[in-house]
Chain A
Amino acid sequence: MATTELPLPALPEAHHEEPGGIVDYLTTVDHKKIGILYIFTSFGIFLAGGVLALLVRLELAQPGLQVMGENTYNQVFTMHGTLMIFLFAAQVSTGLGNYLVPLQIGAADVAFPRANAMSYWLYLFGSLIVLSSFFVAGGPAAVAWTAYAPLSTREFFQGTGMDLWIIGLAVVGVAGILGAVNLVTTIFRMRMPGMTMFRTPLFTWGVLVNQLLILFAFPPLTVVFALLFLERNFGAQFFDPTAGGSPILYQHIFWFFGHPEVYIIILPIFGIISEVVPVFSRKPLFGYRAMVFAFFAIAALSFGVWAHHMFATGLVYLPYFSIMSLLIAVPTGIKVFNWIGTMWRGSITLSTAMLMCLGFIVVFLVGGITGIFLASPPIDFAVNDTYYVVAHFHYIMVGGLLYGMFAGFYFWFPKFTGKLLSERLGRWHFITFFLGFNLTFFFQFLVGLDGMPRRIADYQIERWSTANLLSTVGAFLTGVSVLIFIWNFLVSIRRGKPAGDDPWEGNSLEWVTTSPPPHHNFHHLPEVHSERPAFDWRHRDDPAFAVSHTDPERNLDRG
């Protein structure tokens, strides 16, 4: 097979001079650098949110108030949720997507590089506005990350911190919408010749659906924040029942964003797992098309389930939201089974990235199964707003998101830097994280079932203290695992073993270019005949994998 020289207009001049250093990163419109800016910024926010989480766990280690007062505690858990959900979880995958999507589809950059830079800077300054609320009189918002009205209105919660919270998140929301327009356009319009939609790597599919969800879910969020801002500052009464407003309206709009948000966070992770598992099983992804359809099924259902967060209001039609929520288990199950199908009769290497995937599947399974319980209104009446829910969504958000992120990071770090992360430290990272994470959150299921409510600085029931203490120990062990990860990063970026262009025998196009890729991404691109162009290129001389140029379904052994 011949390599195809890219048509010249697609590429900037081959010897592009870059200024380098800080100025370069401040002025860059290169998707790879913007991706790295996103990843570093969101990781910094993750560390801040993690410190807040440890403060929460310190306070809850024993009954009574030891470390902080109620007001500080309320600020701490509110900002923990805010930083993690809005400013980290929904953003880190945008960073990875920024870096990887153009590489995976054989493009030189995203569709709108300047808008891409603008998205990032809006995200950064929006985040700084939110963070600045720590330094104003009265401190930051203390009304939980959901900011239910009327609690979040000026009548019940004064202070500039709350307004900065709203403004900052609205700015980040606009950044998200702009970024989504950019990435969706990139995926639809910038794929290289031969890269049909059904040959696009699963991570790119994950990012596509994730960004489409952002496109539909962030505008309602911006709306509800605008309403809240008007209510707080200009006397609007959208949520005031004495003036014909409705507190329940806030919950509806918020969760219409809030539930798709969960999938905004987790779909790119599904994409990462679907990239890493085939590579380390040395088999193609099992049921590629089913995986793509499952993405869309999940995305479509995610807009019909928001009121399962509101079962306990007594004001929503329970059977509809219950069955829709239960049905999400089906496409999600398809994904899990297809990952297992990929590993089945494969040739599995337990690299750190693969270990992280296995960790992901197991903890995500627990998170998913407990989600089924919560989709049933009577069970939800019992455990809603208790630590059971806290445990459930942390199994998705911490177990799922972080395992997936770590898997992706160990997998693509060689591509970003040309160096390998230490596998030995990686294993320690995996083990400490697995133990720490499960210790933290498993016992929260038990206290939750026993009735411990969330968002309380103090608990009067003595028998909850053992579980809480274990949970706190686990949280600090999780903290240690993150330190090991940072240590691994620092050591490897200086003294890591050279990775070469394709250390894992990858499948998608990023593995045929250099590590790190050149400014315009590719010097040469192979022809694309399947969803594994790098695999095809590696086996171009092997008659067993000979490529028929006319039959796109060639070699497709579907059992």
Chain B
Amino acid sequence: MPRRRAPAARWLAVAVAALLAAGCTPQSVTEEGRAVHNLYNLFLYIAAVVFVVVSGLVIWSVVRYRRRDDELPKQTHGNNRLELLWTLIPTVIVLVLFVFTLQAQDKVLDQSGQADVKVTVTAFQWSWRFTYDGTGAEVVGSPGTIPEMVVPVGQTIRVKLVSADVVHSFYVPQTLFKRQAIPGTENTFDLTFDKVGLYHGQCTQFCGLQHPDMVFRVRVLEQGAYQSWLAAATRRSAGQPGT
């Protein structure tokens, strides 16, 4: 029955193309994020194969074994060897994925290196405060004014994340990383940006009325530009104590 098979095959092709299109994670702009990007793609390739095989088997069964007469098909109750096979294969797949997960995780969470810049990020309803340790420089936003976290390119930024009130989450999509800011807890992580640019950031843990307005930006500058920004910011903050 070629007429029935053709749409099924086309449908499958569209589904696969769509699934692969879904794999376009934004290119990461940090060293740590690259590990996530590669891991995601590995998962995606295996997932695509699994999806094609399984949905292919479903479509094949339906097309090939449509009811044609009243005769009962052979009443098989199972097959130990097959069942063992489709228990073992997924087990092996997830174990392999687990090993790659552990490797990527070590890269993403590694804090063994020397931190070049230390920033304390305080999340509050509904904006952010960025404090540059040891300099007195501070940037504070409000729901109306989007704060910028300015950092130098190619250097290890150690973020200390705290919350002043409820649970928030620090997320810069192009770093492929987020972390919750939890009251009473200090979370630290490293970000090493390898591209100069301006990146969107946002709170992703629902935190009340103006949660959607809790937006910030990360401005990544060359070292020289960063130093002059930092000096200016330090002067500015010294001139406005208590903000």
A interface residues with partner B (beta carbon < 8 Å): 70-71, 74, 142-144, 148, 150-151, 156-157, 241-242, 246-248, 281-290, 312-315, 318-319, 322-323, 326-327, 329-330, 333-334, 336-338, 340-341, 343-350, 358, 361-362, 365-366, 369-370, 372-373, 376-379, 381-382, 384-386, 442, 445-446, 449-451, 453-461, 545, 555-559
Find A347's partner among B58, B67, B176 (CB 8 Å cutoff).
Answer: B67
Residue from the list B165, B182, B211 in contact with A456, Cβ < 8 A: B211
Q: Which residues of A contact B179 (CB under 8 A)?
A: 312-314, 381
Would you give the shortest CB distance from B68 to chain A, in whole angstroms? 7
CB contacts (< 8 Å) of A557 on chain B: these are: 74-77
Q: List chain A residues, Cβ under 8 A from B212.
A: 70, 456-459
Residue B141 CB within 8 A of the other chain: no
Q: Which of B35, B55, B77 contacts A365 (CB 8 A)?
A: B55
C-alpha spacing A281/B66, complex, angstroms:
8
* B39 contacts A340, C-beta separation under 8 Å: no
Q: Are A558 and B105 closer than 8 Å at their CB atoms?
A: no
For residue B33, give the distance in angstroms from its CB to the closest CB of chain A.
8
Asked whether, in the complex, the Cβ of A326 is within 8 Å of the Cβ of B97, the reply is yes
Residues of chain A contacted by B77 (CB below 8 angstroms): 284-288, 556-558
Please tell me if the beta carbons of B209 and A333 are within 8 angstroms of each other in the complex: no
Total number of A-B contacts with CB less than 8 angstroms?
A: 280
B232 at the interface (CB under 8 A from A): no
Q: Is the CB of A341 within 8 A of B82?
A: yes
Which single residue of chain B is at the shortest CB-CB distance from A285? B77
Name the contact of B98 in the complex, choosing from A143, A323, A362, A454 (C-beta under 8 A).
Answer: A323
A451 lies within 8 A of B94 (CB)? no
Q: Are B171 and A334 in contact (CB under 8 A)?
A: no
Least CB distance, B48 to chain A, in whole angstroms:
9
B39 near A319 (CB under 8 angstroms)?
no
Query: Can you pick out 28 interface pairs between chain A and chain B where the beta carbons lie within 8 Å of each other?
Result: A70-B210, A148-B167, A151-B167, A151-B206, A247-B183, A247-B185, A282-B67, A284-B75, A314-B185, A314-B187, A326-B97, A330-B90, A330-B94, A340-B54, A343-B65, A349-B66, A366-B51, A376-B104, A378-B35, A378-B101, A378-B176, A379-B101, A381-B176, A453-B204, A455-B206, A458-B212, A558-B79, A559-B79
With a cutoff of 8 Å between Cβ atoms, the chain A residues found around residue B200 in the complex are 451, 460-461
Closest chain A residue, CB of each to CB of B186: A314
Per the 8 Å Cβ criterion, residues 172-210 of B in contact with A are: 173-174, 176-180, 182-185, 187, 189, 200, 202-210
CB <8 Å contact, B47 and A454? no
Quick check: B101 and A382 within 8 Å, CB to CB?
A: no
Do residues A330 and B72 form an inter-chain contact, with CB atoms below 8 A?
no
Q: C-beta contact mask, B55-90 vs A, less than 8 Å → 1, else 0?
A: 101100110011111011111111111110011001
